[in-house]
Amino acid sequence: MMMGLERPLALLLLLLVLFPLYNSFRREETFKQLVSLSRALLILLLVLAVAGPTITLDRPLQPEPQLTVLADESTSTSILEGTELELEGVEVREKVIASGNSSELKRGILRHLEPDTNYLAVSDFQSSGSLDGVADRFREVNSTLNVLEPREEEESAVRIEGPETAVPGAENRFTVHVSSTGEPPEPQVTLDGEYAEVERVEEGEWSFTHRFVSEGSHRLKAEIGSDDRYDMNDRYFMTIEVTEKPEVLVVGSVGGMAESLRQFYDVSYSSEVPEDVEDYYAVIAKNDVEGLERYAIEGNGVVYTGKVGGRGMDILPVRPAPEDESSEGTKIVLAVDISISTGEEGKVKMSKKIAYNLVDLLPFNNRVGAVAYNRDAFLVSEPEPLSLNRERLKDKIARLEPSGPSLHNRGLEGAEEALNGTGNIIWITDGRIGGLGSNRDVREKTLEFAGSTDTRLITVSVGDDSNTGFLQDVADESGGMYMDSSDSGRLKFVFAAGGAEDKASRLVIVDPLHFVTQGKELEASSTGFEPVEPRRGADLLVTGTGGQPFLTTWRYGLGRVAAFTGGDTELNRLRQKDSSLLMRTVSWAVGDPQRKEDRWVEVGDGTLGDEIEVRASYPVEGLRRQSDGLHIGETEPESQGFHTFAGKTFGYNYPEELSRIGYRDVQRMARRTGGEVFSPVEEEAIRENAVNFSSRTVPSKTSVSKYLLFIALLLFLVEVGYRKWNGRM
């Protein structure tokens, strides 16, 4: 038992009780003694009731055994045998987590996640998105995820992965994946009607390489022989567009970087920027960018690897950092959304956890404060150096309580006011709008703030159903950065101490959503970082572990500009360890390899049920004019296979949902939540699991104030009866 009293108040009231009690016993009249004793006990009971005493008892987790079945009804699970569980004495509820050709399982599972609940998932766990973090969320709310694995029908599927564009003479690798519920059959692959010899890499995976000689569209087809439920996923069609090598110009000395680019580009050299560069798709400059402003504005690419400073540098997405900013930390205010307008207090807990972890991770020299908001903004802490404020700020964040509607514009305005000048706002929210005012009004005011503020705004989304589009729009409008909560730990590199360094530092991707870095893992390092900072509107993609900018990009007019600010001008260290980062950056800067042609049509591969976008530089039947030199439209073939539109070939395949066949191993995930993996014949084990889960005990505090008040009322009535019986009312 645990009882809590407000001691000073209790002692004072106890003295008031004892004093009349002491006086009453000095008299000899029994009536007065009993009445005084009754009054003393009555006051004592009221004092105890006001103090709010509680007792802690263990209670069953659930009054009756329950089991929530998470049913995956996506197309890929149609090969699972049907199961109807009969669990005597257990209440079974069913929730659908996916259906049709959509299998974003993580979102479906977490949408139905409740505290202290036992779940049984019936799924192949072939998800279109990552399942990372699911087990952690279950553990946070004390819930358990069990898995049921029914028997599968025989089924196989084939698909191809590889480059969609190529240049003559370059080596290209293609991988053929075969997923199957049994032994994966070997695929037959044809390229332009000729059989291609494939090499087995591992179970269910074959690959081959090919150098294209001629330009144009090339047809690649993979096929497997199987007699199963779905016939359409036994064939896969892919087109590869081979174009002549785009011309790029290297300005500066002839070095190893140009040799690396020759496989994919037609490389020319110049010691300085020539007057006419219009024929080049991109310019790679090692020491000078003066004279490239108009070239970039008109839609061309620039990649810079030299020192930052001097004339013409306004085109770059970075600028030299002031001395005080290159050696000291930056000023940051966390804007934490604590509203519960969506009715989900769990999201506020997630927001607090992200903010708490950021305060724990950010380097000591940063000046960090916090603002919490719902309908209004509330100052949690002024920005102070974390070397002095870290633990105090963490404690204040932990004490925040959810309440009120979500007026995001007021929260951001409050954060900007707390900065009292320029700095950085890290906005932690699900981006959903509700409560006071209209959704459109809050959205417009938030976007208006983002477009007018001088602060750098980084949005961190919370929850799997966050308003991602709105948050990305705000980040784009402010020229800041958007990231998912799972990537928020990267901010410790963004805000690490800057400054030039000579020692090698491992490279870290801080923006994994950009074309250059998407899906990429870096294994490289660099030295010689320059003391620079990103300009407003730039995208910082890669840094050193000390936060030094290494690769930054932005759009300059219609063009694309990238700046490497670490290593030597040839990027030798990077090319030796991970040349793909350089190749992706140049590819991004080059853009569409057909854009300098007079007449072109662009059609990508697609899947059944989806419309495919078509773009052309000239009028084509079925397309509508969007601007000078650009006509757009859509096409939707009726069958799977190779098709043509305006002479351009494209592949049309089965829905992606049918490419993932067979069970995905999730035993480790289930075990981490305390769950088990069952087969349909283990009904009794499933029933016992549900019964055991419901019988678990959890500590529960129960107030005894109401019982004390009842006793006080009973004592008062007894006293009234006694006084009336003695005729002394």
- Count Cα atoms within 13 angstroms, Cβ side, for 409: 18
Please provide residue 522's backbone torsions phi and psi, each rounded to the nearest 5 degrees: -100, 140
Q: What is the pLDDT of residue 119?
A: 92
Question: Nearest Cα to 577, choosing from 264, 248, 262, 260?
Answer: 260
Cα separation of 489 and 475, whole Å? 18
Highest mean pLDDT among 47-51, 467-471, 664-668, 681-685: 681-685
Q: What is the pLDDT of residue 501?
A: 45
Instruction: Average the pLDDT over each of 111-115, 139-143, 518-522, 637-641 and give the range with the smallest value.
Output: 518-522
**Tokens at residue 508, please?**
């870290």
Strand partners, 644: 649
Query: Long-range contacts made by residues 398-403, C-beta under 8 angstroms, separation at least 24?
Result: 398/352, 398/356, 400/336, 400/338, 400/348, 400/352, 400/372, 401/338, 402/338, 402/339, 402/340, 402/345, 402/348, 402/349, 403/338, 403/339, 403/340, 403/374
Question: Does residue 1 have a pLDDT over 50?
Answer: no
Per-residue pLDDT tens over the stretch 603-623: 989 988 888 999 898 999 999
Q: What is the pLDDT of residue 170?
A: 81
Highest mean pLDDT among 6-15, 538-547, 555-564: 555-564
Cβ contact 573:567 at 8 Å: yes
Q: Hey, which bits of 291-387 come out as E strands? A: 301-304, 318-320, 331-337, 367-373, 377-385
**Tokens at residue 598, please?**
């007079």
Question: Nearest Cα to 148, choosing from 683, 521, 533, 712?
Answer: 683
- DSSP-derived letter for residue 80 is B
- DSSP-derived letter for residue 116 is T
The residue-averaged pLDDT of 660-686 equals 85
Q: What is the pLDDT of residue 230?
A: 86
Q: What is the pLDDT of residue 698?
A: 59
Cα separation of 22 and 40, whole Å? 10
The residue-averaged pLDDT of 247-256 equals 86
What mean pLDDT value characterizes the chain? 82
Cβ contact 3:53 at 8 Å: yes
Domain boundaries, the chain: 7-53+704-725, 66-152+662-699, 247-324+497-590, 329-494, 601-647
Query: Long-range contacts made by residues 202-205, C-beta under 8 angstroms, separation at least 24?
Result: 204/177, 204/178, 204/179, 204/180, 205/175, 205/176, 205/177, 205/178
Question: Does residue 628 have a pLDDT over 90?
Answer: no
Q: What is the pLDDT of residue 174?
A: 93
Highest mean pLDDT among 133-142, 162-171, 317-326, 639-648: 639-648
Query: Tokens 């006080």 map to which residue?
Result: 712
User: pTM for the full model?
Assistant: 0.59
Cα first-last separation, the chain: 40
Q: What is the pLDDT of residue 196?
A: 93
Question: pLDDT higher for 323 or 45?
Answer: 45
Q: How would CATH label the architecture of 247-324+497-590? A: 3-Layer(aba) Sandwich (3.40)
Q: What is the pLDDT of residue 494?
A: 66
Question: Nearest Cα to 189, choosing from 131, 135, 238?
Answer: 238
Q: What is the pLDDT of residue 247?
A: 92
* Residues whose CB falls within 8 Å of the CB of residue 64, separated by 6 or more in sequence, listed in order: 91, 694
Q: What is the pLDDT of residue 327?
A: 46
The H-or-E segment that residue 241 falls in is strand 235-242
Give the Å distances, CA to CA, from 675 to 54, 124, 419, 500, 536.
34, 16, 47, 51, 48
Question: pLDDT higher for 108 or 159?
Answer: 159
Question: pLDDT higher for 167 or 642?
Answer: 642
The residue-averaged pLDDT of 290-311 equals 90
Cβ contact 397:380 at 8 Å: yes
CATH class of the 66-152+662-699 domain in this structure? alpha beta
Q: What is the pLDDT of residue 149?
A: 87
Cβ contact 562:588 at 8 Å: yes
Give the Å distances, CA to CA, from 597 to 216, 594, 613.
14, 5, 20
Q: What is the pLDDT of residue 60?
A: 62
Please provide residue 64's backbone torsions phi and psi, each rounded to the nearest 5 degrees: -135, 145
The residue-averaged pLDDT of 370-392 equals 86
Q: What is the pLDDT of residue 700?
A: 62
CB atoms closer than 10 angstroms to residue 25? 11
Per-residue pLDDT tens over the stretch 405-442: 888 888 999 999 998 877 889 999 888 876 444 566 78
Within this chain, domains 66-152+662-699 and 247-324+497-590 share the same CATH topology: yes
What percentage of residues in the chain have a pLDDT greater than 90?
21
Question: Nearest Cα to 487, choosing from 516, 512, 469, 464?
Answer: 512
Q: How would CATH label the architecture of 329-494? A: 3-Layer(aba) Sandwich (3.40)
Taking the CA atoms of 450, 456, 462 and 467 in sequence, report the sign of the dihedral they define.
positive
Per-residue pLDDT tens over the stretch 129-185: 777 778 888 887 888 999 988 888 888 999 999 888 888 888 888 999 998 888 889
pLDDT band of residue 727 (cuts 50, 70, 90) is: low
Q: What is the pLDDT of residue 191?
A: 95
N residues, the chain: 729
Q: What is the pLDDT of residue 528?
A: 80
Highest mean pLDDT among 58-67, 351-360, 386-395, 408-417: 408-417
Instruction: Average the pLDDT over each of 201-215, 298-312, 343-357 and give the range with the smallest value.
Output: 343-357
Q: What is the pLDDT of residue 6?
A: 44
pLDDT band of residue 325 (cuts 50, 70, 90) is: very low
Per-residue pLDDT tens over the stretch 471-505: 888 887 777 788 776 666 666 666 664 444 445 67
Q: What is the pLDDT of residue 7?
A: 47
Highest mean pLDDT among 278-287, 388-397, 525-534: 278-287
